Amino acid sequence: MVVVSIAILAFSIVNTSKPNEKNPNNELNPNANYAINPYIKEYSLPDGTWPNGILVDKNGIVWIAGSKINSLFRFDPKQEKIESYPIEDDNSQYNKTGSSFMVWTILQDNDGFIWLSQLGTKSIWKFDPSNDKFTAFRSVSAAPFQMKTHKSGNIWFTTLTGSTVGVIQKNKNEQYTITEFNTGNDTTPAGLFLTNNDLWVTDISNQKVIKYSILYDNGLVTNIEKIAEMPSDNKTSLGSPTDLFVLNDTIWLTEHGTSFLTRYQLDSENLTRFPTSQNAYHVTTLPFWMREVDNGKGIWFNEHEGDKIAFFNTVNKTLTEYEIPSRPKDGYLVYPLNIAVDPSNSNKLWFSEWNTDKFGMVDGEIPIPFEIHSDLNKIVLRNDSKQQSVNIEISKNNFPSYNNNVVFLNASSSIEPTAGFGNVYVNFSVNPIDFTKTHEVHLLMRNDSAPPGNYTIGVSASDGNVTKTIFLDLEIQK
């Protein structure tokens, strides 16, 4: 056992590889340089891991899969101890083919087994934590992109590149069977959500959400039947819908080709896009996976190019974004490709950093040190070039440990996929805000021939570690 001291953290690493087996990637980086953010803890993995899939199991253990090495990592947050397991079975061809091991999803089933998929090899793996054994199932058309467990215990998955959705079922003989159902040519099924006997799937190619009915015979799934698609008209197009969850008459989804978390109301077919705060490099933030918590009152999601992990309150419609402190050695954007909620505490979200060889945890229980508010819910911009003004209230919460007296203001919109405003002039009367002084802050806006329509504005305050955003309706008239 090698004990490695890293910054403020101490790890012990256990090599679980077979005797005489070369496993050079099972030691943690002893030279990790940790930036400080009070809301986020980060942990380093071996160089070249490129972590993606992540899971927090029922016992609070964090599991992370590498993309460039065929290893599954087990991390105990209480003991701060990590172990690595080479992902292979007796018939594994990984070491012979040298293919990369890209795991997009990990889940734990009702029996406690860990399931993960292997991109590029048409494999689904089952890991038994009781004996550290892997079993590979290779009877799939393509590797699963997302997997979720139904209340029945069945595991459903999408294949993305295979244009199918599938189900893993256990029969009376305790044997697993895998059945796939075609979603149609030129479809790209990505995210999925299960409600009773219904299956909801995002179709990236056709920019739709598809609803299927699950058909059973003697308790076993035999088929799926398409019953609806959203949006139902050809006028509204989604921007690469990647993940979703359904709550009553509302679909919440990430539009991965944009900077939007989107609400689609089934009864009215009304679409509302909530923009993230603008990326510092003026590119789309690419919201990705979603994890709904507290019976749909909150949504965690990762921003693929936003350098942030975000939490959206579906009740009061506010967005809190936590800045990931690390940056890759060869670029400016960190890619948090996957997220996992702690099942014992929905305020804690774990995430993987694909291009920094790290994983981390956001603690949403820590209160933020400032608030932002507006008494106005909607602003109307007419085609008359007149400037409109909105009062914005910024207040500091009195936390003894908080010494930063400055916050920066920003604005975003659903007018452009990058959350920009296009031909709408936007400015603040005061920016940044110094809490040692008294300010009256106004958001100033003017229509400079922007396309008419109904949009959403995000007004944000940030201290560099955390960003809080409120939303206003925006109507641009002809």
- C-beta neighbour count of 150 within 10 angstroms: 18
Token readout for 214 is 């699950």
Write down the pLDDT at residue 246.
Answer: 96
| Residues 342 and 377 occupy one common structural domain | no
- Average predicted confidence (pLDDT) for the chain: 87
Task: Express as a percent the part of the chain with pLDDT over 70.
Answer: 89
Examine the pLDDT at 89 and tell me if it is beyond 90.
Answer: no
Examine the pLDDT at 19 and tell me if it is beyond 60.
Answer: no
| Residues 243 and 389 occupy one common structural domain | no
Nearest residue to 225 (alpha-carbon basis) of 184, 171, 168, 266: 184
Residues in the chain: 478
Please write the tens of the pLDDT for every residue from 27-40: 343 333 345 899 99
Residue bearing tokens 């934590």: 129
Q: What's the gap between Cα 153 and its chain centre?
A: 24
- C-beta neighbour count of 190 within 10 angstroms: 25
pTM beyond cutoff 0.85 = yes
| Residues 303 and 426 occupy one common structural domain | no
Please tell me which residue, 139 or 364, carries the higher pLDDT value. Answer: 364
Examine the pLDDT at 3 and tell me if it is beyond 50.
Answer: no
Write down the pLDDT at residue 41.
Answer: 96
- What total of structural domains would you count in the chain? 2
Among the candidates 330, 363, 396, a domain finishes at: 363
Identify the helix (H) or strand (E) that includes residue 94. Answer: helix 94-97
> Binning pLDDT at 50, 70 and 90, where does residue 436 land?
confident
| Residues 338 and 220 occupy one common structural domain | yes
Please write the tens of the pLDDT for every residue from 297-342: 999 999 999 999 999 999 999 999 999 999 998 788 999 999 999 9
Contact between 204 and 242 (Cβ < 8 Å): yes
Q: What single letter denotes the amino acid at residue 310?
A: A
| Residues 223 and 289 occupy one common structural domain | yes
- Angstrom distance (rounded) from CA 449 to CA 391: 24
| Residues 377 and 263 occupy one common structural domain | no
> Binning pLDDT at 50, 70 and 90, where does residue 438 land?
confident
Among the candidates 345, 363, 381, a domain finishes at: 363
| Residues 356 and 376 occupy one common structural domain | no
What burial letters (b/e) apply to 325-353, b meaning 16+ CB within 10 Å?
bbeeeeeebbbbbbbbbbeeebbbbbbbb
Write down the pLDDT at residue 245.
Answer: 94
Write down the pLDDT at residue 138.
Answer: 83
| Residues 59 and 118 occupy one common structural domain | yes
Q: What single letter denotes the amino acid at residue 112?
A: G
| Residues 405 and 349 occupy one common structural domain | no
- Angstrom distance (rounded) from CA 72 to CA 8: 24
| Residues 45 and 162 occupy one common structural domain | yes
Residue bearing tokens 């056992």: 1
Write down the pLDDT at residue 140.
Answer: 86
| Residues 70 and 163 occupy one common structural domain | yes
Domain carrying residue 465 = 370-476
Contact between 205 and 186 (Cβ < 8 Å): yes
CATH number, domain containing residue 451: 2.60.40.10
| Residues 31 and 59 occupy one common structural domain | yes
Among the candidates 363, 387, 411, a domain finishes at: 363
Examine the pLDDT at 457 and tell me if it is beyond 80.
Answer: yes
Nearest residue to 64 (alpha-carbon basis) of 294, 351, 348: 351
- Angstrom distance (rounded) from CA 294 to CA 73: 28
Write down the pLDDT at residue 281.
Answer: 77
Task: Express as a percent the part of the chain with pLDDT over 90.
Answer: 71
CATH number, domain containing residue 338: 2.130.10.10
Contact between 64 and 45 (Cβ < 8 Å): yes
